Amino acid sequence: MRVALNLKGIGFDRVPVDLVAGDHRRPAHLAVNPQRLVPPLQIDGLVLTQSMAILDYLEDIRPQPALLPVGPADR
């Protein structure tokens, strides 16, 4: 996700979540993602919680530069 955000020039703030320490099970993270998983992305008033959905959303709102080649075979 960070690679895609950087590639597309979309600024973001990182919120470290230490899985080993159990940060993802604490109220602060559960308030963002009750699924207790990382990475969530808060953007445009939304909270996206699945990596593929996040990449798909970023591709939609900022098509260039594209994450994937145009042709199906190249993809």
**Which residues contact ligand GSH (rule: CB under 6 A)?**
19, 24, 36-38, 50-51
SS3 of residue 29 by DSSP: helix
What is the C-alpha to C-alpha distance for residues 38 and 25, in angstroms, rounded to an integer? 11
Residue 21 amino acid letter: A
The smaller minimum CB distance to ligand GSH, of residues 7 and 50, is found at 50
Take residue 56 and report the two structure tokens written for it.
């798909």
Residue 51 CB, nearest distance to ligand GSH (Å)? 3
Residue 71 CB, nearest distance to ligand GSH (Å)? 25
The smaller minimum CB distance to ligand GSH, of residues 51 and 57, is found at 51
Residue 59 amino acid letter: E
